[in-house]
Structures are given as C-alpha cells and as structure tokens.
C-alpha cells in the first residue's frame, strides 16, 4: 500500500541564553552564556562546584588531564574553560580529588566520596572503561535518586574510549562542551530555555514510556511518566512516576484502565485550570484501557469545563528512511515533516538529519512516526510536530542539535528502565522531583 505525503520543512526551534538574541544552536552557549548565568553564579555556594573523580588505577593521569581540560579549556573555540562559559568555578585538586576503583568496588567508593563532600552543588565524575561503567550504571543512577540528589550530589559518567577517540582531534572541544553543559545542568543550572512556548497556550504535556523486565518465573512491565507544564516558555515543571505490573495484569505495553484513570486523576487535580492536555506515549494506545482511562479522568476532574486534549503515539522503531536528492550528501534536513494526505492522523517527522548544508554523521537519519490517536484540540499536524521537535531541544545532556527523541519520551524511558532498581514488592511507585536525576 502506498500513500501520498506532503513535505513541510519546519523551522528549527530557537533557544534563549543569558545573552544574545534567540539562537538555533545549543553550542552557542560558549559565547551567549547559560540562561541562569547570573542567578546560578550568585546562588552557588562560594561561587563554585565541587568536583571529585573516580577512575581505574591505570587511567589516573589521563583522567586528571581530561578534568584539567574541562576546567581550564584547550584554547580552542568553542571551549575556553568552564568558568569562562558558565561563570562559576570548579573546586578540584588533582593530587587529592581522584580515587581509584575496580568494577566490584565502584558502588562502595562512590558512597565514600559522597560522605566526604561538603555543601552543594557537587559532581562526581566516573571516568572509566565499559567494564567499569556498564555493570554499575543503572544501580548507581538509582542510588543517586534514592540517596544522593537531595544532598546536592549527582554523577557524570565519562567513558575512556570517548576521550581517547577524540583526544587531539576535531570534536574533542565539543566533547568537553557537552560534558561541561551536563555538569552545569546537573548542579542546578539552566543552560537554555526555549525562546518560544511549546504550546500557543499554557498546557500540560505528559510523556509515558515502558520497560519490560523478565525473570525465570515472571515478567514485569515498568513505566515511567514525565509531566511538563509549559508556562509561557519560561520553565517546565517536571514530575516522574514509576509503576510495575505482574505478568497477566496487562497483556501489552499499556496501563490498565483503573490504574491509568487513578494516575491521571492525581495529576490533573494539580492542574485544574490548564486549557490543553497532550499525552505522548511510546506504545500504541488501547481504547478500552489507557485511552478510556485518560478520557474518563478528564471528565471526572473537569466536568463540563473540560480542556482540549490530544493523545499521540510517538513510534521510534520504524522502517522508514528518507533521502534528499537536492542535497550534496542526499541527507534529509532535520525538521522535515511528511504529512500523510491519505491518513490524516499518521505523519513522519525527521528530528535528525543535516542542520547545515551537509551532515557530518554517518548513517541515514531515522524519523519518528506520529500517530494522532485522538485530538479534539485546535492543533493540526504541523503544530503537533513543531511541539515534538521543540521538545528535542530541551535535552541539557548535550549541545548536539541532532536529538531524536523529545524529552517527554527520552526521560520517561530512562525512568522506566531505572524502575527495577528503585521499586520492590513493598514500594510499587515513586516520584522523582527533578529531571536532572535522570540525566
């Protein structure tokens, strides 16, 4: 079966820094300064961030050199040092602030370093091989959420092969900028915000994603959700929830009717005046289960003064690829929207692709499929797609422009994948107050 599509090139969303007019490239943070530049510098304890390093015994010298580059820069645009860009110093002593560990002892060493930290904000950089990081990543991220973040401590994982593959070559300066930006955000800074609201009116955007974990005798489905309240584009309110279900409670990646209704009722009671609710889901909606649960919750909370709403399945695992024969490298430009002229509720959006005249990355850009399951709002396909594209720009974990997933799905997916490390038989749900805990 073939379909006819109409191609629309969406404008690249602009972001606002402390200085400069709105920009499209997050890397301009080096000259425009982070959005919270003045406020963060005035409120950080002693105008500095405390940094500690944990690495493997054979990488101490290289790890120390990398942190020196992170602090002082490499004399090459765009990275001229942390304080030069972010207006805050890093407190780090190369002779005393590096500890060594093995994979087996990493969790213990992290706890020892946390106990040594005083005040906030603080960052622990774990620089190591895949053998050190991979087995411990999820359990340590869960420990941050459970025990460390309320003390102002977060982790930054840096792989040795990332450093070694770029050191002394083009791109090393961007690795430094990416990590510095992530550290600044994790310590409470706001690198940038959207220059324009993601919605034409104040609205609530909810992202829901799933993770299935199997064991010998049973399977569980965990889900994470993230709620973003867009208040005139100034800031986004974030709250994350996790639940798990035993096999048999749900036959697919959806939330059963009664649970979805309870969840939505709890969320919506705090936002009784929002005129618009949008739900992004990583798996298809099921009419008699989660879709009906959302609808009935809206009816019960708002009564006759119901807000507009839209239910959107954002499918990431798709087979479609696209090429632009007019481009020198035939790469699709980021922001291309293909509006299905035969099915008015299924569209294709390229959130990766070239951002200039050519694309440095290898591979063919993979788009997203937007399936508008239900929509009684005034938003059309173009406006819904513009919002999804804008939400890819709110990922402070990198300064790359090619970000595929909106933060509604990226971080709800991370929450779901961390859920097995945070939940138990006696603790079946929890809330995370800050998206930084998932970065």
Share of the chain above pLDDT 90, in %: 54
Is 368 exposed, middle or buried, given 0-12, 13-18 or 19+ CB atoms closer than 10 A?
A: buried
217-221 average pLDDT score: 66
Residue 202 has pLDDT above 80, yes or no: no
Residue 236 has pLDDT above 60, yes or no: no
Residue 90 within any structural domain of the chain: yes
The Cα angle at residue 75 between residues 69 and 77, in degrees rounded to 5: 105
At residue 159 the predicted structure's pLDDT band, cuts being 50, 70 and 90, is very high
Q: What does the alpha-carbon distance between residue 51 and residue 187 come to, in Å, rounded to a whole number?
A: 11
Residue 91 within any structural domain of the chain: yes
272-301 average pLDDT score: 91
Residue 14 within any structural domain of the chain: no
209 in the same domain as 158: no
At residue 234 the predicted structure's pLDDT band, cuts being 50, 70 and 90, is very low
Residue pair 52/122 in contact (Cβ under 8 Å)? The answer is yes
User: What CATH number is given to the structural domain containing 185?
Assistant: 3.40.50.2300
More confident: 408 or 238: 408
More confident: 169 or 429: 169
pLDDT at res. 243: 64
Span of 281-285, 297-301, 310-314, 361-365 with lowest mean pLDDT: 361-365
Residue pair 225/280 in contact (Cβ under 8 Å)? The answer is no
pLDDT digits (tens, 9 = 90+) for 72-115: 999 888 999 999 999 999 999 999 999 999 999 999 999 999 99
Share of the chain above pLDDT 70, in %: 90
92 in the same domain as 53: yes
Instruction: Give the chain's domain count.
Output: 2
Residue pair 161/131 in contact (Cβ under 8 Å)? The answer is no
pLDDT at res. 161: 95
Q: Give the predicted TM-score (pTM) of the model.
A: 0.92
Span of 319-323, 410-414, 418-422, 424-428 with lowest mean pLDDT: 424-428
More confident: 9 or 253: 9
pLDDT digits (tens, 9 = 90+) for 352-362: 988 876 677 76
Sign of the CA dihedral with 241 first, then 243, 249, and 251 last: positive
Element (H, E) at 139: helix 137-143
Neighbours of 369 (CB within 10 A): 18
**Domain boundary residue among 150, 171, 189?**
189
Question: What integer best gives the mean pLDDT of the chain?
Answer: 87
Residue pair 41/368 in contact (Cβ under 8 Å)? The answer is no
167 in the same domain as 118: yes
Residue 17 within any structural domain of the chain: no
pLDDT digits (tens, 9 = 90+) for 357-403: 667 776 788 899 999 999 999 999 999 999 999 999 999 999 999 89
Residue pair 374/284 in contact (Cβ under 8 Å)? The answer is no
User: What CATH number is given to the structural domain containing 350?
Assistant: 3.30.420.10
Phi, psi of 236 (to 5 degrees): -120, 130
More confident: 426 or 15: 15
Question: Which residues neighbour 171 within 8 Å (Cβ) at sequence distance 6 or greater?
Answer: none
251 in the same domain as 389: yes
Residue 408 within any structural domain of the chain: yes
**Domain boundary residue among 142, 168, 189?**
189
231 in the same domain as 321: yes
- Residue from 276, 281, 273, 279 nearest 301 by CA: 273
237 in the same domain as 150: no
pLDDT at res. 233: 43
Residue 19 within any structural domain of the chain: no
Residue pair 242/412 in contact (Cβ under 8 Å)? The answer is no
Neighbours of 247 (CB within 10 A): 14
At residue 219 the predicted structure's pLDDT band, cuts being 50, 70 and 90, is low
Residue 24 within any structural domain of the chain: no
176 in the same domain as 222: no
pLDDT at res. 434: 80
278-283 average pLDDT score: 92
Residue 27 within any structural domain of the chain: no
185 in the same domain as 214: no
203 in the same domain as 182: no
- Residue whose entry in the numeric block shows the structure tokens 């800074």: 189
142-166 average pLDDT score: 91
pLDDT digits (tens, 9 = 90+) for 238-278: 566 666 666 556 556 677 898 889 888 888 887 777 888 99
305 in the same domain as 253: yes
**Domain boundary residue among 169, 189, 209?**
189
Question: How many separate helices (H) and strands (E) can be counted in the chain?
Answer: 13, 18
- Residue whose entry in the numeric block shows the structure tokens 């965990």: 222
At residue 24 the predicted structure's pLDDT band, cuts being 50, 70 and 90, is very high
163 in the same domain as 145: yes
3-state secondary structure of 9: strand
Span of 113-122, 231-240, 330-339, 349-358 with lowest mean pLDDT: 231-240
> 264 lies in which domain range?
198-438
DSSP string spanning 56-96?
-GGGHHHHHHHHHHHHH--SBTTBS-HHHHHS-EEE--TTT
pLDDT at res. 354: 87
209 in the same domain as 172: no
Distance of CA 103 to the CA centre of its chain: 27
329-343 average pLDDT score: 88
pLDDT at res. 300: 94
């Amino acid at each position: 079966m073939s379909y006819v599509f109409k191609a629309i090139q969406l404008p690249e969303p602009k972001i606002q820094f402390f200085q400069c007019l709105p920009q499209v490239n997050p890397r301009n943070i080096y000259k425009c300064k982070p959005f919270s530049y003045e406020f963060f510098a005035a409120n950080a304890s002693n105008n500095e961030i405390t940094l500690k390093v944990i690495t493997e015994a054979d990488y101490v010298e290289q790890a120390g050199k990398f942190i020196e580059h992170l602090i002082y820069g490499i004399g090459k645009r765009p990275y001229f040092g942390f304080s030069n860009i972010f207006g805050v110093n890093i407190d780090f002593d190369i002779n005393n602030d590096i500890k060594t560990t093995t994979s087996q002892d990493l969790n213990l060493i992290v706890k020892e370093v946390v106990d040594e930290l005083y005040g906030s904000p603080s960052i622990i950089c774990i620089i190591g091989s895949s053998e050190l990081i991979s087995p411990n990543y999820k359990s340590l991220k869960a420990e941050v959420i459970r025990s460390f973040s309320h003390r102002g401590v977060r982790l930054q994982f840096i792989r040795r092969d990332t450093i070694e593959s770029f050191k002394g070559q083009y791109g090393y300066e961007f690795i430094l900028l990416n990590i510095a930006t992530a550290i600044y955000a994790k310590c409470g800074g706001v690198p940038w915000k959207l220059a324009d609201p993601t919605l034409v009116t104040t609205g609530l955007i909810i992202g829901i994603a799933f993770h299935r974990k199997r064991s010998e005798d049973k399977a569980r489905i965990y889900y994470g959700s993230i709620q973003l309240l867009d208040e005139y584009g100034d800031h986004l309110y974030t709250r994350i929830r996790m639940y798990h279900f035993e096999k048999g409670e749900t036959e697919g990646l959806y939330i059963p009717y009664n649970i979805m209704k309870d969840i939505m009722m709890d969320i919506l009671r705090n936002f009784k005046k929002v005129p618009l609710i949008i739900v992004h889901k990583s798996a298809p909606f099921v009419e008699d289960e989660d879709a009906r649960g959302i609808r009935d919750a809206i009816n019960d909370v708002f009564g006759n003064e119901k807000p507009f709403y839209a239910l959107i399945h954002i499918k990431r695992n798709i087979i479609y690829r696209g090429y632009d024969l007019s481009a020198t490298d035939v790469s699709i430009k980021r922001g291309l929207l293909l509006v299905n002229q035969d099915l008015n509720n299924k569209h294709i959006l390229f959130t990766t692709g070239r951002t200039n005249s050519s694309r440095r990355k290898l591979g063919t850009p993979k788009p997203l499929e937007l399936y508008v399951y239900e929509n009684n709002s005034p938003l059309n396909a173009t406006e819904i797609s513009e919002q999804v594209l804008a939400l890819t720009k709110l990922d402070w974990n990198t300064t790359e422009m090619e970000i595929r997933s909106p933060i509604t799905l990226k971080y709800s997916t991370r929450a779901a994948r961390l859920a097995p490390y945070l939940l138990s038989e006696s603790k079946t749900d929890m809330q995370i107050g800050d998206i930084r805990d998932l970065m």
